[in-house]
Amino acid sequence: MEKIQTVEKQNSEQLNPSVTMSDSSSLANEQDAVIVADDLSKHFGTTKALDKVNCKIGGASIFGLIGSNGAGKSTFLRLTAGVYRPTEGAMLYRGQVIFDNPNAKREIIFVADQPYFHFENLRKMSALYRSLYETWDQDLYQELIRIFPIREDQRLDLLSKGMHRQAALILAIAAKPRLLLMDEAFDGLDPVMRQNLKRVLARQVADDGMTTLIASQNLRELEDFCDHVGLLHEGGLLFVEELDKLRLGLVKAQVAFRENVTAEQLRAMGLEILRFSARGSLVEILTRNTEEELRTILNQVNPLLLDVLPLTLEEVFIYELSCKSYIVSELLA
Amino acid sequence: MVLQKQSDHGKNRALPRKSGLWWTFTRLLLDLRSLIAIFIFLFLLVMPIAMLILGRDVFTAMANWQDSPQYAEYGSAPTNIFGYSVHVNEAFLPFHLIMVALSSVAVITLGGSLFRPLYRRDTVDFEWSLPLTKNHWFLGRALALIAGLSIIYLVNIVATSGIIYAWKLQDLLPDYLFAYLKAYLSTIVFTGFSIAIFSLCGRLFDAIVINVALHHVMPFIQLISGSMPEKSLLREIMWFLAPAADSFRTIVADKSFLHYAVLIVFWFVLSWFCAMKRQAEWGGRKTGTMRWFVGIQPIFSLTGGMLGGEIFDMFDPSPMPWKLLSPMFFLGALLGAFLAQLVSSAVTGKTLHRVPSDSDEAGKAKLHPILREWLWSLLGIALLYALTLFNRIV
């Protein structure tokens, strides 16, 4: 199920903050795209928060938007929520302009980094959401307040930051939006609540076809959860890719050889090595081969130990982007 | 924890949606209910309750069927909104003036409460992401404010009329009702003006300060500029820019219904335009300094200059026939204008040190903020002399 694509630009091979990367193999139909950013720019005075961003996000997916502070993540979310008017270009939801358009916004809910509650407790807030969103599901709401333990009559202004976020998420999810936007969704949540949130969101995506767009600085938060990721840097979208595809392209293994084996020897055997680092008798190898190919080649040298290790999203990004001459530590917090 | 799949999506759905404008209007009016109740009480206190405390005998003694001396100043007897001459009894005057002052406070307080969300990052994110338009929010706020003021005015006049009828002084009432209606219309004019200021400002504090300051500045200029004729275009422009101050004249001023209608339409169209132009990113600003503020700052330096000049002129041992030529007046005006410029900059959070911006080109000469403040003060002085000269010529 391909959900994301970037718009083909003139020189897609050369990454540039103002030019998106294209993957022709992952192009989806124009009609499938839920969100389309078309040459989207947002300037605050002379500061270019976003500059000519092009991307398409498809339905029923969880899209992780990552980047360092000031990369433009929150601005992108606010443009998608219809809070900001684009300076140039357009932000479309199912082909409709989002800004000042209630028809589009009726299907979108934005959970900001600092959630705001107009009323003092969840009961009144749920009534407010219920009066605004036709899709509000009271049963789901009741279920969510059991999962996230907040009493309906509890004073929201006296709650902790994490509880605030839970309350905002309860309201947002119970309204059953077609598109849920979350800025730093996991900020302040304890590990149990993070897992609960991930499960609830995954279910909503699977059952109701909800699209979720999450902005975060934390790659580790998103890696076991998102199916697509995009990297924003200095107002430009550097990278958009399907996570599984990214992971499938790289394999990491820990090997202990009986005899001294060099990287050149392994390369000669057909291994496409990206990194070869030896720590004592243990060697860590990162390759572009498949796991099967890796095992076949390494078994030829009869290793004492061969473990294929899981790759973190951070590692994937480091190797993908270092190929494009980007220093990842500068891009990510 | 097992999450059970929802199988009954059709049940317990949301309430049928009302129109966006009705939703915002009712929601915002409900939010105002406590403030409306407080102002109803205050209005009742300054008019019907005050009348009851004074008692029928004192009120009757205050009643005077002669035309108020103030009418003569304006050269004609006051008329009602349909153009008929009226004779408002002076007995109502003290209550009316306090009530008008309270109206201005009500507009700023209720307006501040309604428009506060425009200035906060979190509330802007919340409101602007809801399935409503900017028009819904603007009209909802404006109508809630008008409705709130209308309720306050209505309750007040019903209670006042009840007392007047109970005292069997109903003959006094009909003519006063026209003055009351004018006060109400004048309050609505001020509401439109205030909404424009609320929509333009970066912070609530600035909106209130500018609203209040403009209303003190305009009558003040009129009071101290003795050379200005009683009826002049310039004076009318000044009253126009201070609708709250102008509303004090409603009991005696000769203004037609059309006058109020035009002003209401003008200010509400202007405030709508300002609200539509307002951007979400203005919410959460650290300072209230906006580009347009530079345009109105000379008004403050003009007032400061006028005040400073008048004060220094009092100490002039050899006053000149035309005080604007007096060096003492000029010195006072210069100091007053500069101080007023600094104060108006300070309250809006404008700093007096260089703040480099991304757009600054390397090596490009830029005026120091203090020098710029001086130049704007001089502009205020130039404005003061130009206005005075204009008045003399006209």
| B324 pLDDT more than 50 | yes
Among the partner-chain residues B9, B23, B134, the one whose CB lies closest to the CB of A137 is B9
Specify the pLDDT at position A104: 93
Assigned token pair, A224:
């076991």
Chain centre to alpha carbon of residue B196:
10
Among the partner-chain residues B8, B120, B357, the one whose CB lies closest to the CB of A139 is B8
- Chain A nearest CA to B358, separation (Å): 6
Specify the pLDDT at position A223: 78
Among the partner-chain residues A102, A112, A207, the one whose CB lies closest to the CB of B131 is A102
Of A137-151, A315-329, B67-81, B247-261, the range with the lowest mean pLDDT is B67-81
3-state secondary structure of A309: strand
Q: What are phi and psi of A13, to 5 degrees?
A: -70, -30
Q: Tell which wins on pLDDT, A68 or B165.
A: B165
Distance set, CA A4 to CA A25, A28, A64, B222, B363 (Å): 11, 7, 11, 66, 46
Using 50, 70 and 90 to split pLDDT, how confident is the model at B192?
Answer: very high
The residue among B17, B114, B129, B134 with the most chain A CBs within 10 A of its CB, best to mutate, is: B129
Q: Which residues of B touch A (CB under 8 A)?
A: 1, 3-6, 8-9, 11-15, 17-18, 20, 23, 27, 120-126, 128-134, 136, 279-281, 357-359
B128:A81 CB<8 A: yes
Specify the pLDDT at position A181: 96
- pTM > 0.90: yes or no: no
- Chain A nearest CA to B10, separation (Å): 8
The most confident of the ranges A18-27, B31-40, B371-380 is B31-40
Q: At a CB cut-off of 8 Å and minimum separation 6, what does A155 contact?
A: A120, A121
A133 touches chain B (CB under 8 A): yes
Specify the pLDDT at position A86: 95
Chain A partners of B122 at a C-beta cutoff of 8 Å?
112, 114-116
E-assigned strand segments in chain A: 4-5, 33-44, 47-58, 62-66, 88-93, 96-97, 108-111, 179-183, 211-216, 228-233, 236-242, 251-256, 273-279, 282-287, 305-309
Q: Tell which wins on pLDDT, A176 or B169.
A: A176
The most confident of the ranges B21-35, B88-102, B166-180, B223-237 is B21-35
Using 50, 70 and 90 to split pLDDT, how confident is the model at B352?
Answer: low
| B65 pLDDT more than 50 | no
pLDDT (tens place) for every residue of chain A, 333 residues total = 334 343 333 333 333 333 333 333 343 455 578 999 999 999 988 888 999 999 888 888 899 998 877 889 999 999 999 999 999 999 999 999 999 999 999 999 999 998 999 999 999 999 999 999 999 999 999 999 999 888 999 999 898 888 999 999 999 999 999 999 999 888 888 889 999 999 999 999 999 999 999 998 777 778 778 888 888 887 888 778 888 777 777 888 999 988 888 888 888 888 888 888 888 778 988 888 888 888 898 888 888 898 988 777 777 777 766 665 555 555 554
Specify the pLDDT at position B17: 60
| B129 pLDDT more than 50 | yes
B122:A116 CB<8 A: yes
Among the partner-chain residues B11, B14, B125, the one whose CB lies closest to the CB of A130 is B14
Note the ipTM here: 0.80
Specify the pLDDT at position A100: 92
What are A285-307's pLDDT values in tens digits?
888 888 888 889 888 888 889 89
B6:A143 CB<8 A: yes
Of A42-46, B248-252, B363-367, the range with the lowest mean pLDDT is B363-367
Specify the pLDDT at position B372: 78
Q: At a CB cut-off of 8 Å and minimum separation 6, what does B84 contact?
A: none
Domains assigned to chain A: 21-245 (3.40.50.300), 251-310 (3.30.70)
